Structure 1
């Protein structure tokens, strides 16, 4: 006969281990956000991905990816952006640098998804677990002789 308490503890331990693994794995994917440079000239704009920097703040260095977002970078990567606007020499060209996602936003989204799927899983498994529990209780009680 299978000990129900032992299998229950094993299942909870496995679930807790999986949850801990997911919380450790996810930040490693989010540790290297992509930086973008937005080049705007008149009504035209272009968003370019900046080259990745090996000296990211998480790995101990200062992020220098946004330093590459200059007017010259925009003119070199997209030379036709300022043609027909003013002089075309980049006088009207403005640049701005941004990262795709912040860590706080990612954390909130993943926390929401984890809680939602956890509650859905609990609601879906609850009738099954109740049925198992009732069958286990019926087997464990023996009828008293009259």
Structure 2
């Protein structure tokens, strides 16, 4: 099931006044079954030792999967909610940017599964890999 091809400005507009805006997460590429988002590694995303915080990587994974699921749904009637996330942190990063590439693994009527790999932008080395399960629920209010 291909993702809707909306302008990046529209997709990034969903992040106004959210954690994604606070962390500097920006969607930079949309494909039929993948999307790419970029996040800075700086004071906003560091842990006390000056490394990329694992929680920031998890936030990037969830943001990518949720954005992707939004591009599969009729948002007037339904909405995505993350129900399970897991990740393996494999390399430290202290500065620059990371890029997360989310690939759609499964798109059912009630669940979506996303595989997200995060790479250091400067070197291309894998930093973190994770999966997000999204539940599709009726829109409320």
Does TM, normalized by the shorter one, top 0.5?
no
Q: Which has the higher strand share?
A: 2
Considering Cα pairs closer than 8 Å and 6+ residues apart, tell me whether 1 or 2 has the greater RCO: 2
Q: Which has the higher helix share?
A: 1
Larger radius of gyration, structure 1 or 2? 1
Structure 1 length-normalised TM: 0.28
Structure 2 length-normalised TM: 0.28
